[in-house]
Amino acid sequence: MNDKKTDAVRTGYWGKQLSDVDKEIARLASICDVRILEPGVIQRIIANDATVCGKSNQLAFDKLRTAILIHYAVMEKSFDRLGVDETRRLVDVIVAKLRERFGDTLGNPGRPGG
């Protein structure tokens, strides 16, 4: 029983860490008018390609890029603590909640071209 409680606390902690970062990514993507979930967009942001933005806002773009890099760092730590499968489940839940909040403005990775 104690192991289940410890697992729940760990999962909750890493879920919150990822959720907080991902909410900020979604907020900044909205400011920059970036369809963040479209194929290839995140890689272009990491490569510092601001042409993915529908609106020019260099400060917000720089923060978006940093937040994405933080997301990957947090995911790496979560992989170590929770495992890849549990981390992926957490991310899937977070993305679903962000879609509810932001709608299709984040893009649609399952549909080429949006």
Q: How many CB atoms lie within 10 A of CB 91?
A: 17
The reply to whether 110 falls in a domain is: no
Q: How many CB atoms lie within 10 A of CB 41?
A: 18
The reply to whether 109 falls in a domain is: no
The reply to whether 114 falls in a domain is: no
Residue 114 has pLDDT above 70, yes or no: no
Reported as a single tens digit per residue, the pLDDT across 86-106 is: 888 888 888 788 778 777 777
The reply to whether 62 falls in a domain is: yes
Range of the domain at 17: 2-104
**Torsion, Cα of 79, 82, 86, 89 (10° steps):** -70
Reported as a single tens digit per residue, the pLDDT across 5-42 is: 666 677 788 888 888 998 999 999 999 999 988 889 99
Per the structure, the count of domains in the chain is 1
